[in-house]
A = this chain, B = another copy of it.
Amino acid sequence: MAREKYFKPIDGSPPPLRNAITRKVRFDELDPLSIMWHGNYASFFEEARVALGERYGIGYMDFIANNIIIPIKKFHVDYLAPLVFGETYTIWALLHYNPAARLDFEYQIFSKDGALMTTGCTIQMMLDTQKNILLAKPPFLEEFCQKWRNGLVQ
């Protein structure tokens, strides 16, 4: 696991939640240099983020069931080494604890040999159906975060 670098730890926060997926680079994701086009990493990060959300019951669909959407506010990628055709990579998503009504995700992509290829982050805010920004976490998420702070989330 690479060192985390995008979000400063907030005092008293529980450690980040982590989940990994694997994904192969497909032919249609390559650019003319035969490496993955830089814009396709958004899909890799998103697939890892969605998988973490589903695993913990705090995914897109859980928010939508609570009439909340969670658009991306900030997106960042640092490309360390290129991803190539046919290779399978491991994408870790880490959800960092934040007391505010937002989701702070960090990403790390590793090759099969364990080399760190890419890092990045996204920040999502929460909107209600009238497109107002939520200032506090919705109850279902606050309940989840309480368990998280208490070390009850695996």
Copies of this chain present: 4
Instruction: Determine whether A4 belongs to the interface, using a CB cutoff of 8 Å to chain B.
Output: no
B38 adjacent to A71 (CB under 8 Å): yes
- Closest residue of B by beta carbon distance from A50: B27
> Contact string, A36-77, partner B, CB cutoff 8 A, digits 1/0?
011111110011001000100000110000000101111111
Among A9-17, A78-86, A133-141, A144-152, the stretch that binds chain B is: A78-86
Instruction: Determine whether A31 belongs to the interface, using a CB cutoff of 8 Å to chain B.
Output: yes
Given contacts A75-B76, A79-B71, contact A28 B39 (CB under 8 A): yes
- Closest residue of B by beta carbon distance from A54: B86
- Selected from B26, B74, B75, the residue in CB contact (under 8 A) with A47 is B26
Beyond A35-B71, A73-B78, A75-B76, 19 extra complex contacts between A and B, CB < 8 Å: A27-B31, A27-B60, A28-B31, A28-B39, A28-B42, A28-B46, A30-B32, A32-B85, A37-B42, A38-B42, A38-B72, A38-B75, A39-B39, A41-B75, A50-B86, A61-B86, A75-B77, A75-B79, A76-B76
